[in-house]
Amino acid sequence: MPRSKRARVVHESKTVKKDHKEQTRRLYANIRECVEEYDRLFVFSVDNMRNTYLKDVRAEFGDSRLFFGKTKVMAVALGTAPENEAADNLHKLCSYLTGAVGLLFTSRPAESVIQYFENFRPSDFARAGTVATRSFTLPNGLVTARGGEIPADQDEPVSHTIEPALRKLGIPTRLVKGKVMLELTEGQEGYPICREGETLDSRQTTILKMFGITSSEFKVDLKAMWTRETGEIKILEESGMETDA
């Protein structure tokens, strides 16, 4: 029996397919325009990428242009060789366009840009696969909201409602008169969650977040700078000191 036309579902909303060729063309054109408009160009890399903090950087540099797109397209836009580069010596920056990198076009003084990124190091919760920057151990006894990170008289006990979640994560807790207690074998002073230098898994990062432990740092490292007036390339060390390329 043929299906009734009345049973058909008609979707009124339509999804417009992204035109990747148009996006590539626009990125190329915008970078070429910025080469002529701004005094200098920085190539930067991002450690522990967070869109929230990258938005903060964009807001701070509202008078500048920041690109965080496909590295191959950015390289082609700058120029991969002297014969096709957008301006003198820009092809020398292509070797830095690998990994999580972006371009910052600005007319601000170089010193102020370098100083800003040296000071912009917000802390955040670690993700699975990152390396622990510190050790964290839950002390024996009453489990508090910060897990012993602050004095007990300044902290408060965790809610009894999260005790099942703690046990599910492998932490030996139990309820005693409505209080969440960590009970370990004799001789143990605490329950280690992570140690500095080890690679964190999803279980560890979940526990760290539950206790408000931020062990990851969003960091933007400036790798190189190009100056339009002279065409000079500077390699920027992590300390902010500049050396000739």
CATH number assigned to the domain comprising residue 156: 3.90.105.20
Q: What is the pLDDT of residue 240?
A: 40
User: For residue 1, is pLDDT > 60?
Assistant: no
- pLDDT band for position 14 (cuts 50, 70, 90): low
pLDDT tens digits for range 195-236: 999 999 999 999 999 999 987 778 889 999 999 999 999 998
Does residue 85 sit in the same domain as residue 49? yes
Does residue 87 sit in the same domain as residue 160? no
In a domain, 34, yes or no: yes
pLDDT tens digits for range 79-117: 999 999 999 999 999 999 998 899 999 999 999 999 999
In a domain, 174, yes or no: yes
Does residue 32 sit in the same domain as residue 58? yes
User: For residue 71, is pLDDT > 80?
Assistant: yes
Residue range of the domain that includes 149:
130-216
d(CA 94, CA 70): 12
Does residue 223 sit in the same domain as residue 201? no
Residue spans of alpha helices (H) in 107-162: 110-119
CA distances to 35, 54, 172, 209 from 66, in Å? 12, 10, 48, 31
- Tell me how crowded residue 19 is: count the other CB atoms within 10 A of its CB: 10
Does residue 224 sit in the same domain as residue 210? no
In a domain, 16, yes or no: no
Does residue 163 sit in the same domain as residue 43? no
Does residue 27 sit in the same domain as residue 61? yes
Does residue 51 sit in the same domain as residue 77? yes
Does residue 210 sit in the same domain as residue 226? no
**How many Cα atoms occupy the beta-carbon half-sphere of 137 within 13 Å?**
11
Does residue 28 sit in the same domain as residue 116? yes
Q: What mean pLDDT, rounded, does the chain reach? A: 87
User: For residue 185, is pLDDT > 80?
Assistant: no
Split into its structural domains, the chain has a count of 2
Q: What is the pLDDT of residue 239?
A: 38
In a domain, 173, yes or no: yes
In a domain, 15, yes or no: no
- pLDDT band for position 243 (cuts 50, 70, 90): very low
User: For residue 123, is pLDDT > 70?
Assistant: yes
Q: What is the pLDDT of residue 206?
A: 95
In a domain, 4, yes or no: no
In a domain, 3, yes or no: no
Mean pLDDT value across residues 47-54: 78
Q: What is the pLDDT of residue 127?
A: 87
